[in-house]
Amino acid sequence: MTGNGNLWVTDYGAGAVYEFTNNGGTLSSAVTTFAAVRSPDGLAFDSNGNLFVADNADGKIYEYLNSGGALSPAPSIFASGLGSPTALAIGPVPPVSPPPLLAISLAGGTPVVAWPVPSTGYVLQTNTALTTGNWGDYGGVVSNNTATIAPSQGNLFFRLMHP
N-to-C CA span, the chain: 45
Does the footprint of another protein cover residue 10 (CB under 8 A)? yes
The site that binds another protein (CB under 8 A) totals a number of residues, namely 53
Cβ 115 to another protein shortest distance, Å: 22
Does the footprint of another protein cover residue 57 (CB under 8 A)? no
Residues in 131-160 that interact with another protein by CB under 8 A: none
Does the footprint of another protein cover residue 58 (CB under 8 A)? no
Among 57, 65, 88, 160, binds another protein (CB under 8 A): 88
Residues in 16-35 that interact with another protein by CB under 8 A: 16, 18, 20, 25, 27, 29, 31
How many Cα atoms sit within 13 Å of 135 on the Cβ side? 12
Report d(CA 66, CA 21) in Å as an integer: 16
Of the candidates 106, 118, 111, 108, which has an alpha carbon nearest to the alpha carbon of residue 145? 118
Report d(CA 75, CA 77) in Å as an integer: 7
